[in-house]
RNA sequence: GGUCCCGUGGAGCAGUUGGAGUGCUCGCCGCCCUGUCAAGGCGGAGGUCGCGGGUUCAAGUCCCGUCGGGACCGCCA
């Protein structure tokens, strides 16, 4: 090593020691006769002092005048106690300083594109283009170190429980998650393409057939869909699969990992067991399959209460077998007309027709507003009680197809919480959402979901129905439930999984309902079905959205902050400039334009 | 594919109903300075106001288009 100590580790006990440090010039304070430099390395910062005195110290001091921000230097000196009154209690090393006898400039730094300074905000574009400089800052660096700790903790929990860490291919076939695939041309077989895995789903099931019994992997996954603050097309899962388990067993492991992470990295003891709510209850009460339970606000269904109303918006939904519901905005009656109109724009931006509302007068409690005029005396009289509103509150309504209307109210619930400060930013609220429906009706024609039936798998087509529905899911697919579960933290889905189908006959019936013919199935997942002929064990698993988990633990707003080199919205990497066009020769060699030769698929 | 917000020296921001010369803080360069720690003092350099078009006597400001970034919807566990 070219240094004897790490800068941030120097303490009073080192006083008198001659040490060699190496790091970067974080800041210099040149007083002419004495120069202070804050020397930073990965461990922290220590103040070094250039002062004349001896021949070599004079040489170092005069050389120090040319030091600039982020010069990389090696420094030899003596650790000394700072003069009385000059200690800096803000710094862990603030009791001491290094008096320099030798300075060696290892490399110089050009003027920086932005300051490497804790208290200066820098735009994300600049940060990502010079991410290596951004990561010299303590905040961004800490986020990556936290992620490393999370990996270590998860490996520890799983290792203790005899899980086997196994890597699976990234050049493979399409997997059944239902997102768009990234495709890779294959030079050796022009016209044929690999897909990058959307998850290791099929491989981890094969590993169960292989008798590994307990598998995990910190796996890179690829889905060619649009970006969000919590979504990149290239992301990481902590992927887990177990044999001979029930849903409760998987949930127990999931809680163990979650509890360990939050205990060590957030200093929080998560109360266990983590509460469970069924998917349908979550939709009914919170209008979301990933409810934020940091606040209490719930939805109220009014379908029965308002039956018989003449207000066309509600009557139409009820007549069509739909749903009418409401959510209260505490104190919402105090909003101006403009603010209430703003909610209409908010709803329209989400694709809704609008957001009907009634406000209750702050003193009389009398219902007011355009919708109130359309409701009968009776309906108005009992409304406040029905939805749990007090004088001074506002109530928003949604009507229409059940899930769609509930989701609108769920989004309104969140927005209400945000605007009225209901969210406790220091709270951690976890829950499991269980008993997800197996199927949803296929609506949009551009759905890339597998199969051509009128139903699509909510999770993926290998998800097992619950015991109650095992024999009967075909009879009422819309109500059939699956052993599928998500873990939710503060309104973020941080993980999800299911018990898989391991019986041939059940799998065939599910494919049948999804409109996947035996030929389709053989073509898409033939290798899996083949494997399942050879004594597949009952199995199930879970995958954590690792970027989101780290984002929450780091207390940041975007997964970009916990990814070393993230991409920006258009799939563009501001640092490398990827993606780039390819040369004609690359195009030729890659076989991008080649037609596949018809041939027998050896996987069948 | 859609909605909203942003784009002004290297960084972060201000710039009013369109009105003379685009301003501030930090950084950068030079000089001074022996106890600072987001050091201080003096001086200096650095700008196609993202780009293109339009309205106007006059555009950083208004309009249209376009590019880039961000948030959201669609899409996606």
Instruction: Quote the ipTM score.
Output: 0.92
Question: Which nucleotide's C1' is closest to A568 (Cα)?
Answer: B69
The answer on whether A225 is annotated among ligand-binding residues is yes
Question: Which nucleotide's C1' is closest to A437 (Cα)?
Answer: B77
What is the predicted pLDDT for the residue at A447? 41
Q: What's the CA gap between A277 and A485, in Å, rounded?
A: 10
Q: Distance in angstroms, CA of A342 to C1' of B4?
A: 13
The answer on whether A500 is annotated among ligand-binding residues is yes
The answer on whether A545 is annotated among ligand-binding residues is yes
Instruction: Please tell me which residue lies nearest to nucleotide B3, judged from CA to C1'.
Output: A349
What is the predicted pLDDT for the residue at A597? 74
Strands (E) across A229-293 are located at 234-243, 276-278
Q: What's the CA gap between A521 and A531, in Å, rounded?
A: 13
Instruction: Please tell me which residue lies nearest to nucleotide B2, judged from CA to C1'.
Output: A349
Contact A295, A424 (CB under 8 A): yes
Question: Which nucleotide's C1' is closest to A567 (Cα)?
Answer: B69
Question: Which nucleotide's C1' is closest to A485 (Cα)?
Answer: B77
Q: Distance in angstroms, CA of A27 to C1' of B43?
A: 23
What is the predicted pLDDT for the residue at A283? 96
Q: What's the CA gap between A420 and A412, in Å, rounded?
A: 12
The answer on whether A546 is annotated among ligand-binding residues is yes
Question: Which nucleotide's C1' is closest to A69 (Cα)?
Answer: B27
A341-to-A186, A348, A354, A356, A397 alpha-carbon distances in Å: 55, 11, 10, 10, 14
Helix, strand, coil proportions of chain A in percent (round to 5)?
30, 25, 45
The answer on whether A223 is annotated among ligand-binding residues is yes
Positive or negative: CA dihedral A120, A125, A130, A131: positive
Looking at strand B, which nucleotides approach a protein CB closer than 7 A? 1-4, 10-13, 26-29, 32-40, 68-77
Strands (E) across A302-450 are located at 323-329, 356-360, 367-368, 394-400, 430-434, 439-441
Positive or negative: CA dihedral A259, A165, A435, A424: positive
Instruction: List the one residue out of A469, A344, A436, A456 whose CA is nearest residue A396.
Output: A344
Q: Distance in angstroms, CA of A593 to C1' of B18?
A: 55
Q: What's the CA gap between A181 and A315, in Å, rounded?
A: 43
Q: Distance in angstroms, CA of A198 to C1' of B75?
A: 15
Mean pLDDT in runs of 10 for chain A (604 residues)? 96 97 96 95 96 86 93 97 96 96 95 87 92 95 97 98 98 87 94 94 97 98 95 97 98 98 98 96 96 96 95 92 95 87 84 89 93 93 95 95 94 93 93 94 52 79 95 93 97 96 93 90 91 96 98 96 94 92 92 79 53
Q: What's the CA gap between A520 and A403, in Å, rounded?
A: 30
CA angle, residues A301, A307, A311, in degrees to nearest 5? 100
Q: What's the CA gap between A508 and A514, in Å, rounded?
A: 10
Instruction: Please tell me which residue lies nearest to nucleotide B38, judged from CA to C1'.
Output: A119
Q: Distance in angstroms, CA of A123 to C1' of B13?
A: 12
Q: What's the CA gap between A177 and A418, in Å, rounded?
A: 32
Question: Which nucleotide's C1' is closest to A112 (Cα)?
Answer: B10
What is the predicted pLDDT for the residue at A448? 42
CA angle, residues A500, A255, A491, in degrees to nearest 5? 90
Question: Which nucleotide's C1' is closest to A351 (Cα)?
Answer: B73
The answer on whether A254 is annotated among ligand-binding residues is no
Q: What's the CA gap between A559 and A577, in Å, rounded?
A: 20
Q: Distance in angstroms, CA of A428 to C1' of B9?
A: 45
Q: Residues A465-503, buried b or exposed e (16+ Cβ, 10 A)?
A: bbeebeeebeeebeebbbbbbbbbbbbbbbbbbbbbbbe
A198-to-A3, A175, A209, A258 alpha-carbon distances in Å: 45, 6, 21, 23
Q: Distance in angstroms, CA of A44 to C1' of B67?
A: 41
Phi/psi class of residue A249: alpha, beta or left (left: φ > 0; alpha: ψ in -120 to 50)?
Answer: alpha
Beta bridge partners of A35: A30, A50
What is the predicted pLDDT for the residue at A600? 58
Q: Distance in angstroms, CA of A598 to C1' of B53?
A: 53
Q: Distance in angstroms, CA of A230 to C1' of B74?
A: 17
Instruction: List the one residue out of A502, A511, A458, A449 whose CA is nearest residue A481.
Output: A458
The answer on whether A547 is annotated among ligand-binding residues is yes
Q: What's the CA gap between A223 and A211, in Å, rounded?
A: 29
Q: What's the CA gap between A529 and A513, in Å, rounded?
A: 17
Q: What's the CA gap between A216 and A237, in Å, rounded?
A: 10
pTM over 0.90: yes
Q: Distance in angstroms, CA of A143 to C1' of B71?
A: 22
Question: Which nucleotide's C1' is closest to A482 (Cα)?
Answer: B77
């Amino acid at each position: 090593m070219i240094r004897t100590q790490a800068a941030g580790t120097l303490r009073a006990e080192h006083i008198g020691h001659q040490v060699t440090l190496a790091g970067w010039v974080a800041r210099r304070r040149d007083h002419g006769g004495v120069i202070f430099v804050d020397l930073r390395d990965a461990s922290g910062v220590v103040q070094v002092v250039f002062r004349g005195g001896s021949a070599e110290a004079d040489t170092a001091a005069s050389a120090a005048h040319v030091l600039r921000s982020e010069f990389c230097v090696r420094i030899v000196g003596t650790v000394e106690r700072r003069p009385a009154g000059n200690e800096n209690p803000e710094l862990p090393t603030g009791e001491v300083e290094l008096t320099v006898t030798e300075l060696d400039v290892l490399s110089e730094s050009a003027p920086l594109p932005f300051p490497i300074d804790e208290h200066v905000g820098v735009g994300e574009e600049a940060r990502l283009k010079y991410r290596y400089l951004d990561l010299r800052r303590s905040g961004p660096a800490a986020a990556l170190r936290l992620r490393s700790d999370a990996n270590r903790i998860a490996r520890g929990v799983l290792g203790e429980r005899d899980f086997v860490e196994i890597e699976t291919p990234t050049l493979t076939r399409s997997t059944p998650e239902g997102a768009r695939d990234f495709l890779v041309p294959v030079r050796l077989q022009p016209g044929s393409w690999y897909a990058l895995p959307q998850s290791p789903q099929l491989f981890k099931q094969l590993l169960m057939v292989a008798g590994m019994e307990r598998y995990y992997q910190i796996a890179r996954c690829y889905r060619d869909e649009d970006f969000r603050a919590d979504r990149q097309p290239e992301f990481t899962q902590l992927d887990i699969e177990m044999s001979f388990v029930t849903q409760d067993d998987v949930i127990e492991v999931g809680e163990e990992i979650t509890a360990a992470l939050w205990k060590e990295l957030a200093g929080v003891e998560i109360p266990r067991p983590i509460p469970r709510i069924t998917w349908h209850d979550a939709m009914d009460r919170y209008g979301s399959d990933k409810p934020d339970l940091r606040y209490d606000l719930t939805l109220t269904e009014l379908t029965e209460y308002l039956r018989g109303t003449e207000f066309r918006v509600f009557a139409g939904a009820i007549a069509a077998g739909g749903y009418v519901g409401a959510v209260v905005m505490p104190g919402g009656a105090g909003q101006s007309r403009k603010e209430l109109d703003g909610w209409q724009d908010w709803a329209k931006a989400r694709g809704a027709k609008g957001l009907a509302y009634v406000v209750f007068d702050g003193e009389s409690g009398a219902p007011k507003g355009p919708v109130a005029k359309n409701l009968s005396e009776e309906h108005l009289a009992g409304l406040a009680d029905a939805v749990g509103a007090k004088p001074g509150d506002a109530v928003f309504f949604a009507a229409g197809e059940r899930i769609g209307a509930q989701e609108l109210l769920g989004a309104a619930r969140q927005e209400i919480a945000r605007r009225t400060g209901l969210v406790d930013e220091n709270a951690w609220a976890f829950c499991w959402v269980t008993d997800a429906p197996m199927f949803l009706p296929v609506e949009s024609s551009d759905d890339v979901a597998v199969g051509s039936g009128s139903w699509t798998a909510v999770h993926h087509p290998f998800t097992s129905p619950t015991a109650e529905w095992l024999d009967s899911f075909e009879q009422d697919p819309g109500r059939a439930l699956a052993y599928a579960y998500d873990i939710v933290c503060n309104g973020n889905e941080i993980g999800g999984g299911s018990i898989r189908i391991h019986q041939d006959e059940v799998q065939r019936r599910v494919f049948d309902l999804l409109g996947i013919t035996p030929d389709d199935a053989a073509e898409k997942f033939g290798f899996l079905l083949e494997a399942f002929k050879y004594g597949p064990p009952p199995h199930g698993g879970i995958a954590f959205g690792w970027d989101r988990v780290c984002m929450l633990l780091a207390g940041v707003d975007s997964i970009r902050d916990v990814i070393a080199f993230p991409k920006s919205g258009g799939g563009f990497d501001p640092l490398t400039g990827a993606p780039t066009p390819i040369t004609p020769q690359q195009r030729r060699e890659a076989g991008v334009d080649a037609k596949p030769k018809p041939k027998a698929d050896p996987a069948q």
